[in-house]
C-alpha cells in the first residue's frame, strides 16, 4: 500500500514537473506579437534586466517576467545597454534581450556638407528633433568656447561628414566630435604637405582650403584652383575671390554681388586687402585641405566660372579678360556662386 502511494506520488510529481517544464519552454519560446511589424523601445539609463522585463509585463508582452529573468540570468544575459532599439515582430524575449546586451541601437544622423558655414550647421542641428538642444540663445563666440575654451572662432573647424548619434545626444557633443575630427584630419594632411604650398601654419591651410572649397564647382579642379591662389600669394597679388567678400558682408549680402561690394573694405575683402582673410570662410572637406597643401603646378593666375561648374584658367590678364567677355558677357548672374548650391540636410 505504501509502495503504491510512493509510486503514485512520484508519477504525480513527474507529471507536474513535465507540465511545468512544458509551460516554461512555451513561455520562453513564445514570440512577442506587436501590433505593428516593428516596435521602438527605449531602455532608460540605469535600467536593470528585472525593470525591463517588468515593463514588458506591464505592456502585456510577457505573462511571467520572473521566468524570463531566471532563464536570462542563468545564461548570463544581464548586462543590457541603454538606448533606443527597433524590435521586430515575432522576436522572443530572449532575442530582444540579446539585442539589448549587444547594444544594437537605433542611430540617428546629421550631415555637415563641405563648404557650409558654422551658422549653416547650427541650422541643421537645431532642426534635428533627436538632438538635445543646449545652444539656443548663445552667440557664435560662446558656442566656440563651449567646444574648446581656447577657441576664438569656430569657423572652418568643423569637419564635414555624416555623424551618427543616439537619440538624446546633446548638440554640443556633435560639434565637439566634428571639431576633433577636423583637428585629426588637419594634422594628418599637414604632415603630408608639399613644399609648393604657400601657407606656413595649419590654420592658414584651413583658411586657404575654405576658399578653395567655395570656389570649386568640379572636384577635379581643386588642386588647380589651389595652384592659382598659391601663385598669387607667392607673387603678393591680391586673391580677389568673391566668396571672401560675400562672407565679409554677412547678413548684408542679398545674393547679388556688385562692384560696390567689391570696393567696400572689410577684413574679408580680398579685393581691397592682401594675403589671406583672418579666418576660414567655410568648413572645408579633406580634399580641399589636401589641395591647399598640395597645389597643382602651372602658370595660371586667373580663372573665371564658365557657368557649368567648371572654370577657364588663364596665365595672362589679356587671356583672362577675353574669357570673362566670353563666359560672363552679360554680367554676373544674380544667383552667382563659385560652387553649386547644396542644401545641408539632417536625418
* pLDDT tens profile 20-49: 444 444 555 677 777 777 888 889 888 898
Distance CA 214, CA 283 (A): 9
> Cα torsion at 34, 38, 40, 46 (round to 10°)?
70
* pLDDT tens profile 62-118: 888 888 888 888 888 889 998 899 888 888 888 888 988 998 999 999 999 999 999
Tell the residue number behind the cell numbers 577657441, with chain if given: 151
Show Cβ contacts of residue 298 under 8 Å, excluding neighbours closer than 6 positions. Answer: 224, 227, 228, 231, 313, 315
Q: What is the pTM of this model?
A: 0.80
**Residue 65: predicted pLDDT:** 82
N-to-C CA span, the chain? 77
User: From residue 332, how far is each of 65, 66, 70, 121, 329 by CA, in Å?
Assistant: 71, 74, 74, 28, 8
**Residue 254: predicted pLDDT:** 83
Distance CA 13, CA 35 (A): 39
CATH topology of domain 29-102: Dna Ligase; domain 1 (3.30.1490)
Burial of 27 (0-12, 13-18, 19+ CB in 10 A): middle
DSSP-derived 3-state class of residue 307: coil
**Residue 124: predicted pLDDT:** 97
Q: Determine which helix (DSSP H) or strand (DSSP E) holds 162, and give its type and residue range.
A: strand 162-165
Show Cβ contacts of residue 220 under 8 Å, excluding neighbours closer than 6 positions. Answer: none
**Residue 340: predicted pLDDT:** 33
In this structure, are residues 319 and 198 in contact, taking their beta carbons and an 8 Å threshold? no
In this structure, are residues 81 and 107 in contact, taking their beta carbons and an 8 Å threshold? no
Residues of the chain where predicted confidence (pLDDT) is lower than 50 = 7-9, 11-25, 330-347
**Residue 5: predicted pLDDT:** 60
**Residue 271: predicted pLDDT:** 94
**Residue 27: predicted pLDDT:** 54
Tell the residue number behind the cell numbers 601663385, with chain if given: 231
User: From residue 217, how far is each of 6, 124, 126, 314 by CA, in Å?
Assistant: 91, 23, 28, 17
**Residue 28: predicted pLDDT:** 57
Amino acid at each position: 500500500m505504501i509502495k503504491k502511494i510512493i509510486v503514485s506520488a512520484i508519477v504525480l510529481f513527474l507529471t507536474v514537473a513535465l507540465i511545468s517544464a512544458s509551460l516554461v519552454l512555451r513561455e520562453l519560446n513564445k514570440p512577442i506579437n506587436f501590433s505593428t511589424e516593428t516596435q521602438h523601445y527605449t531602455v532608460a539609463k540605469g535600467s536593470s534586466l528585472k525593470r525591463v522585463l517588468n515593463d514588458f509585463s506591464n505592456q502585456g508582452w510577457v505573462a511571467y517576467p520572473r521566468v524570463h529573468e531566471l532563464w536570462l540570468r542563468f545564461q548570463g544575459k544581464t548586462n543590457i545597454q541603454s538606448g533606443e532599439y527597433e524590435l521586430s515582430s515575432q522576436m522572443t524575449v530572449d532575442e530582444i534581450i540579446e539585442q539589448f546586451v549587444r547594444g544594437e541601437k537605433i542611430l540617428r544622423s546629421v550631415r555637415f556638407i563641405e563648404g557650409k558655414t558654422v551658422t549653416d550647421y547650427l541650422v541643421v542641428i537645431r532642426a534635428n528633433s533627436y538632438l538635445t538642444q543646449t545652444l539656443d540663445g548663445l552667440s557664435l563666440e560662446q558656442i566656440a568656447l563651449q567646444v574648446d575654451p581656447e577657441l576664438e572662432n569656430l569657423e572652418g573647424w568643423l569637419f564635414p561628414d555624416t555623424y551618427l548619434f543616439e537619440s538624446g545626444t546633446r548638440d554640443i557633443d556633435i560639434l565637439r566630435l566634428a571639431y576633433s575630427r577636423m583637428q585629426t584630419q588637419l594634422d594628418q594632411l599637414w604632415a603630408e604637405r608639399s613644399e609648393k604650398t604657400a601657407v606656413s601654419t595649419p590654420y592658414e591651410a584651413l583658411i586657404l582650403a575654405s576658399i578653395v572649397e567655395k570656389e570649386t564647382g568640379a572636384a577635379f579642379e581643386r588642386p588647380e584652383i589651389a595652384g592659382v591662389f598659391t601663385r598669387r600669394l607667392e607673387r603678393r597679388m591680391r586673391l580677389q575671390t568673391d566668396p571672401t567678400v560675400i562672407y565679409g558682408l554677412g547678413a548684408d549680402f542679398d545674393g547679388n554681388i556688385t562692384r560696390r561690394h567689391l570696393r567696400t573694405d572689410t577684413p574679408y575683402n580680398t579685393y581691397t586687402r592682401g594675403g589671406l582673410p583672418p579666418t576660414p570662410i567655410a568648413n572645408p572637406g579633406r580634399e580641399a585641405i589636401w589641395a591647399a597643401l598640395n597645389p597643382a603646378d602651372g602658370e595660371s593666375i586667373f580663372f573665371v566660372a564658365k557657368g557649368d561648374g567648371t572654370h577657364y584658367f588663364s596665365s595672362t590678364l589679356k587671356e583672362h579678360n577675353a574669357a570673362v567677355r566670353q563666359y560672363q558677357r552679360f554680367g554676373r548672374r544674380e544667383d552667382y556662386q563659385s560652387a553649386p548650391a547644396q542644401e545641408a540636410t539632417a536625418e
